[in-house]
Structure 1
Amino acid sequence: MTYYHHVSLLTRHREENVAFYTELLGLRFVKNTVNQDNHRMLHYYYGDFQGAPGSVITFFVVPKLGNRYENDHYLAEIEWSLPSGSFSYWKDRLEKKHISYTEKENQLFFTDPDDVILIFTETDQPPLSKNHKVSAEVPGDKQLLGLRSIHFHVPDPAKTSDFFRILLDWQTESGVIQLSSQEFIKISASDTTNITRMGRGSVDHVAFAVKDEKALKLLYKKAKEQQWTVEKIVSRGYFKSLYIREPGGIRVEFATMGPGFTIDEELAHLGESFALPPFLENQRAEIENQLYPEN
């Protein structure tokens, strides 16, 4: 089972965002829907062919979004795992697409159009299984395997580490929580007390995978008993989610593995329609009419 579920960010230009993540990176556009907490925002999901937990990155589209200011607390540096033998392919691909990058051993560092730092790390893992490969310009044996790490920048790393240790029994060693052989969390101290301001390219939250609704409810009960800052537990249709603010101020989500993205679209046609989970379907006309204009 994967530990990561998805990571969600803010973007300004939707067409530029779609092109980068589908055409350049070879991910599938798995869901075109709405931000359920603000029906004016589109919410785009990208992932492998199945939209499997651990493969997904999402964006809230806010056309007039300003610059971000990453100061006292923020998430950054989204790392992805590459299959064995794919490093030179990705290096050549970035060069051919005129994407500037920095190379370090088995890693490539570059940015997306919103200046989000992305890290591609070649691993010893095999390619995606056939039913997870996307029909894309990127060959199936070179496609991204999934999320590998994200970096918590917080005022007091010890308090953030305590949160993960007490709630989940995840241990921090030298600023790293090793979740699995291929997944980890980095935690380090922010270097200013200036307030963070969200903007284009900000990471809104990271979501970790929970087996099912029963496990999520147990985690919710535990978090309440331990008096963490619980924001809410809610159904998103595609999964059920628990949101908690860790002590550094970063929103952490825990999301169930299912039911997945086929509740409102067939697998073969994911991302092809403006999809709404069943509980929002009766608001479709109103939602479509109040979406942010593109410019």
Structure 2
Amino acid sequence: MPAFHHISLLTKDRNQNVAFYTELLGMRFVKNTVNQENNRMLHYYYGDYTGSPGSVVTFFVVPHLGQRYDHDHFLATIGLKIPNNSLNYWQERLENAGVAATQQENQLFFDDPDNVAVILTEVPEGPLKSKLQVKNDIPGDKQILGLASTQLHVADLEKTADFFKRYLDWDVVAGQIKLSESEHLEIYQTKTPEKMRMGRGSIDHVAFAVKDDAALDDLYKKAQEQNWNIEEIISRGYFKSLYIREPGGNRLEFATMSPGFTIDEPLETLGESFALPPFLADKRAEIEANLYPVD
């Protein structure tokens, strides 16, 4: 089971966003839906062929989105892992696309169109299973495997470390939490008391994978007992989610592994039509009529 489930950000330009993540990075556009908290806002999901947990990067599409201000607390970077012996392929692919990338050892650093820092890390793991490979111009043995890392920036390192230890029994060692052999969280101290402001490329939340509803309910009860800042526990249709603000103010999500993205459209045509989970299906006409104008 992966440690990460998905990571969700804000984008201003949906066409640039789709082109970057599907055409350049080769991820599949697995879901074209809405933000369930604000049904006027589009929500795009990218991942491997099935959109399996641990492979997914999502974006809320917000036209006229302003500049972000990463100040007193924020999440940063999309870390993605690539298979063994694929770093040179990706360096050449980025170069050919005119994307400036810096190589450091087994990693490539570059920015997406919203100035989100993206990191590709070559790991010892082999390629994606064939059933997870996306049908595109990227060879199957070079395709992105899934999420590898992200960063939490907080004002008080000790409070955030205490949260992870007491709530999840995760240890912060040298500024990192090792989640698996190829997944980790980095934690940094911020240097300014100025308030952060969400904008282009802001990360709204990072989600961690939870086995099932029972395990999620246990986490919910534990968060209540330990008096953490719970936002909500809710079904998203594609998975059930628990949202918590860690003491530094960053939003964390814990999401179940199932039922997945095929509850409202077939696997073969994921992302090809505007999809709504069953509990929003009867509002389709109203939602489509009120979407924020884009393009």
TM range (shorter): over 0.9
Residue matched to 2:215: 215
Amino acid aligned to 2:223: A
- The CA distance in 2 between the partners of 1:67 and 1:288, in whole Å, is 27
List per-residue Cα deviations over 1:18-38 (Å, max 9, x = no partner): 000000000000000000000
Q: In the TM superposition, what is the alpha-carbon distance from 1:170 to its structure 2 partner?
A: 0.7
Residue matched to 2:171: 171
- The CA distance in 2 between the partners of 1:157 and 1:264, in whole Å, is 42
List per-residue Cα deviations over 1:107-156 (Å, max 9, x = no partner): 10000000000000111110000000000121111000110010000001
Matched residue of 2:279: which SS?
helix
Matched, 1:291 2:258: no
Q: In the TM superposition, what is the alpha-carbon distance from 1:158 to its structure 2 partner?
A: 1.3
**1:129-278 alignment, distance < 5 Å:** 129-278=129-278
Amino acid aligned to 2:34: V
Matched, 1:45 2:45: yes
Q: Report the TM-score when normalising by structure 1.
A: 0.99
- The CA distance in 2 between the partners of 1:258 and 1:121, in whole Å, is 27
- The CA distance in 2 between the partners of 1:170 and 1:264, in whole Å, is 35
- The CA distance in 2 between the partners of 1:161 and 1:239, in whole Å, is 27
Q: In the TM superposition, what is the alpha-carbon distance from 1:157 to its structure 2 partner?
A: 1.2
- The CA distance in 2 between the partners of 1:43 and 1:97, in whole Å, is 26
Q: In the TM superposition, what is the alpha-carbon distance from 1:77 to its structure 2 partner?
A: 1.6
- The CA distance in 2 between the partners of 1:152 and 1:101, in whole Å, is 23
Q: Over aligned residues, Cα RMSD in angstroms?
A: 0.6
Q: Report the TM-score when normalising by structure 2.
A: 0.99
- The CA distance in 2 between the partners of 1:153 and 1:168, in whole Å, is 19
Amino acid aligned to 2:48: D
- The CA distance in 1 between the partners of 2:19 and 2:77, in whole Å, is 20
Long gaps (5+) in structure 2: none
Long gaps (5+) in structure 1: none
Matched residue of 2:215: which SS?
helix
Matched, 1:2 2:2: yes
- The CA distance in 1 between the partners of 2:212 and 2:292, in whole Å, is 34
User: Which 4+ stretches in 1 moved above 6 angstroms?
Assistant: none
Residue matched to 1:280: 280
Residue matched to 1:83: 83
Amino acid aligned to 1:283: K
- The CA distance in 2 between the partners of 1:124 and 1:257, in whole Å, is 24
Number of residue pairs aligned between Structure 1 and Structure 2? 295
Residue matched to 1:20: 20
Percent of residue pairs identical: 62
Amino acid aligned to 2:221: K
Q: In the TM superposition, what is the alpha-carbon distance from 1:191 to its structure 2 partner?
A: 1.1
Q: In the TM superposition, what is the alpha-carbon distance from 1:78 to its structure 2 partner?
A: 1.4
Amino acid aligned to 2:105: E
Residue matched to 1:104: 104
Amino acid aligned to 1:159: K
- The CA distance in 1 between the partners of 2:46 and 2:66, in whole Å, is 23
Matched residue of 2:185: which SS?
strand
List per-residue Cα deviations over 1:35-59 (Å, max 9, x = no partner): 0000110000000001000000000
Residue matched to 1:61: 61
- The CA distance in 2 between the partners of 1:19 and 1:5, in whole Å, is 23
